[in-house]
């Protein structure tokens, strides 16, 4: 946190301060209405629930995590109103974030209070009523209010967080908000029905706590199964990573090639606005783009001096096709299936239609394949290899700019140049990377290492 700017700190404190202020106002209002001990007990139960749920995050692909806390938050709001719900949020954060820096704690507590206050305001103004346990209020007929308060909660929460992230990473707030919106909105929509069901279950005469517990058991089971699935996905990634590196590691011509192409490709993809499944698909395609070169006679064909014969040329032209066939067999995620194969197939196409294997033109080449084509060529030009002097990055970019519009997509080349000028592009491998990428051969004997 030392490096955070003054504006960032000021903003975090401001949100925290506003939150505490609103919490006091809400509490005073609620106190005047009168609050019974039994409601406090029930709120305590939900506080425990919120902490429990918060301590068991669900893992998502690529190491991110999320919690299903919003379902509990929503139930709390509908059952107890914003004041008690805000207290539950603040107290649960006290436990959940106890190891975080104090500034983050203050911000998070403030932001949850403001989100609840906003949601409560919208809910009441749309005619929603809080259904305090055994108050007999039915939720039916309040559809608009129920949806409205989810939207309000999400808008307040995501805007407050986007501003904080924008100030922290010095990026545009709207850009951050667009990303978080796309990522988080579906999650809120999916979790809201769970919150609603939990509320209705809790309201049932004489069941309350027991019913909520029974309702949670299958959700916990699903969470563990989902966790297992995500672990499998991670294991798959690690394995393909290790094996594809190994397949290249002992060949001085290809060593680390796919590893580096993957790094460049992902950087370029992010720079050009790809995210989520598309970025994921691009990453897999980069890792596997040369897998179609698996032929015992590949080396002799490709290293032969002089022009390749028609037959050999056919073999070369076919490697993206073969690669896409293999990639197809390794279908990864439901949402990337087929995509990876399509990208691999098109990574030697050129904008002017002179590429192979299909000779397609311009925009009909998938963006991911155009990115992969640039990353592939850039790695080939800048690689430090036994047989070839390393070309400087500047001259490689210069060369690619010359071919932009014919061989390469100009926008992708410019994105590459931009990354390099801003110093965000690390070219080649470092010594520590070298050690982890290439398994040691355990001795000096063996084929030609570099």
Partner 1 sequence: MGKRRKMALAIYVGAVMAAGAVALAGTIGQWGAVELGMWELALFIGLAGVLDVMVVPVAGGGGAAASFAIFFAGLLLLGAGPTAWVVALAGLWSEGVVRRKPLVRTGFNISHSVLSLMAAGAVYGALGGEVGRVELPGQLPAVVGAAVCMWLMETAWMAGAVALERGGRMWRRLRASLGPVLALDGALASVGLLMALLYQSRWQLISASSWRETLFVGAIVLIPSGLLYYAYRLQGYLRGVYVQSLRTLGAVMEAKLEGSQPGHGERVAALAAGMAEALELPADQVEQIRYAGYLHDIGKVGVPGELLSRGRDLFAGDPEALRRHPEIGAQILAPVRFLKPAAEMVRAHHERWDGLGYPRGLQAQEIPLGARLLALANAYAGMTHHPSTPCLNPQQALDRIRQAAGSRFDGELVETAMSLLSPASSPGHWFEQRGSDLATPSESNHGRA
Per-residue exposure over 93-105, b if at least 16 CB sit within 10 Å of its own CB, e if not? beebbeeeeeeeb
> Interface residues with partner 1 (CB under 8 A)?
140, 193-194, 197, 200-201, 204-207, 210-211, 214-215, 217-226, 228-229, 231-233, 235-236, 238-244, 246-247, 249-250, 291, 294-298, 315, 318, 322, 325-326, 329-332, 334, 436, 439-443, 445-447
Residue closer to partner 1 by CB (options 203, 382) is: 203
Q: Are 115 and 63 in contact (CB under 8 A)?
A: no
Longest Cα–Cα distance in the chain = 92
Residue closer to partner 1 by CB (options 79, 167) is: 79
Minimal distance in Å, beta carbon 111 to partner 1?
28
d(CA 178, CA 251): 44
Residue closer to partner 1 by CB (options 306, 446) is: 446
Residue closer to partner 1 by CB (options 150, 416) is: 150
Q: Are 113 and 19 in contact (CB under 8 A)?
A: yes
Minimal distance in Å, beta carbon 323 to partner 1?
10
Minimal distance in Å, beta carbon 213 to partner 1?
8
Minimal distance in Å, beta carbon 339 to partner 1?
15
d(CA 393, CA 131): 65
Residue closer to partner 1 by CB (options 337, 427) is: 337
Minimal distance in Å, beta carbon 423 to partner 1?
29
Residues 6+ apart with CB under 8 A from 295: 301, 315
Q: Is 68 helix (H, G, I), strand (E, B) or coil?
A: coil
Q: Are 110 and 16 in contact (CB under 8 A)?
A: yes
d(CA 308, CA 317): 11
Q: Per-residue DSSP letters for 349-371?
A: --TTS--SSS---GGGS-HHHHH
Question: 10 Å Cβ neighbour count for 318?
Answer: 15
Minimal distance in Å, beta carbon 435 to partner 1?
12
Minimal distance in Å, beta carbon 440 to partner 1?
7
Residues 6+ apart with CB under 8 A from 116: 73, 77, 82, 85, 86, 89, 153
Residue closer to partner 1 by CB (options 338, 362) is: 338
Q: Is 127 helix (H, G, I), strand (E, B) or coil?
A: coil
Residue closer to partner 1 by CB (options 279, 337) is: 337
CA 408 to chain centre: 28
Q: Is 291 helix (H, G, I), strand (E, B) or coil?
A: helix
Residue closer to partner 1 by CB (options 302, 330) is: 330
Minimal distance in Å, beta carbon 207 to partner 1?
6
- How would you classify residue 134: left for phi > 0, otherwise alpha for psi between -120 and 50, otherwise beta? left
Residue 374: closest CA among 341, 411, 340: 411
Residues 6+ apart with CB under 8 A from 281: 336, 339, 340, 343, 368
Residue closer to partner 1 by CB (options 94, 225) is: 225
Minimal distance in Å, beta carbon 177 to partner 1?
29
Distances (CA, A) of 332 to 269, 324, 386: 19, 13, 35
Residue closer to partner 1 by CB (options 14, 214) is: 214
Minimal distance in Å, beta carbon 78 to partner 1?
15
């Amino acid at each position: 946190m030392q490096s955070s700017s003054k504006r960032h700190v000021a903003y975090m404190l401001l949100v925290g301060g506003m939150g505490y202020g609103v919490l006091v106002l809400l509490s005073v209002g609620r106190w005047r209405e009168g609050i019974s001990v039994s409601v406090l007990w029930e709120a305590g139960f939900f506080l425990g629930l919120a902490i429990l749920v918060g301590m068991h995050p669900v893992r998502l692909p690529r190491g991110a995590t999320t919690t299903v806390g919003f379902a509990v938050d929503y139930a709390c709001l509908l059952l107890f109103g914003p004041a008690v719900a805000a207290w539950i949020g603040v107290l649960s954060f006290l436990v959940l974030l106890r190891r975080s820096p104090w500034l983050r704690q203050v911000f998070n507590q403030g932001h949850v209070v403001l989100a609840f206050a906003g949601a409560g305001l919208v809910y009441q103004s749309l005619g929603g009523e809080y259904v305090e346990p055994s108050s007999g209020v039915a939720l039916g007929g309040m559809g608009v209010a129920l949806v409205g308060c989810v939207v309000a909660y999400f808008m307040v929460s995501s805007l407050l967080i986007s501003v904080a992230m924008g100030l922290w990473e010095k990026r545009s707030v709207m850009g951050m908000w667009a990303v978080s919106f796309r990522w988080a909105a579906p999650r809120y929509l999916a979790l809201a029905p769970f919150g609603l069901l939990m509320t209705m279950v809790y309201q049932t005469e004489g069941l309350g706590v027991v019913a909520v517990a029974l309702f949670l058991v299958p959700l916990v089971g699903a969470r563990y199964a989902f966790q297992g699935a995500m672990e499998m996905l991670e294991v798959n990634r690690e394995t393909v990573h290790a094996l594809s590196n190994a397949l290249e590691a002992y060949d001085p011509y290809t060593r680390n090639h796919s590893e580096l192409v993957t790094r460049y490709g992902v950087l370029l993809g992010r720079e050009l606005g790809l995210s989520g499944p598309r970025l994921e698909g691009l990453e897999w395609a980069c890792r596997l783009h040369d897998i179609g070169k698996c032929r015992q006679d590949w080396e002799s064909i490709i290293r032969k001096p002089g022009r390749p014969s028609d037959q050999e040329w056919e073999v070369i032209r076919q490697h993206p096709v073969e690669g896409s066939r293999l990639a197809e067999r390794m279908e990864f995620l439901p949402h990337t299936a087929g995509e990876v194969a399509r990208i691999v197939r098109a990574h030697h196409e050129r904008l002017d239609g002179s590429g192979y294997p299909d000779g397609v033109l311009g925009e009909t080449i998938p963006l991911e394949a155009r990115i992969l084509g640039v990353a592939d060529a850039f790695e080939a030009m800048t690689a430090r290899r036994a047989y070839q002097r390393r070309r400087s990055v500047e001259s490689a970019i210069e060369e690619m700019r010359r071919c932009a519009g014919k061989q390469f997509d100009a926008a992708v080349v410019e994105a590459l140049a931009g990354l390099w000028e801003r110093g965000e592009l690390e070219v080649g491998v470092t010594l520590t990377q070298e050690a982890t990428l290439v398994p040691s051969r355990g001795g000096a004997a063996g084929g030609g290492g570099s």
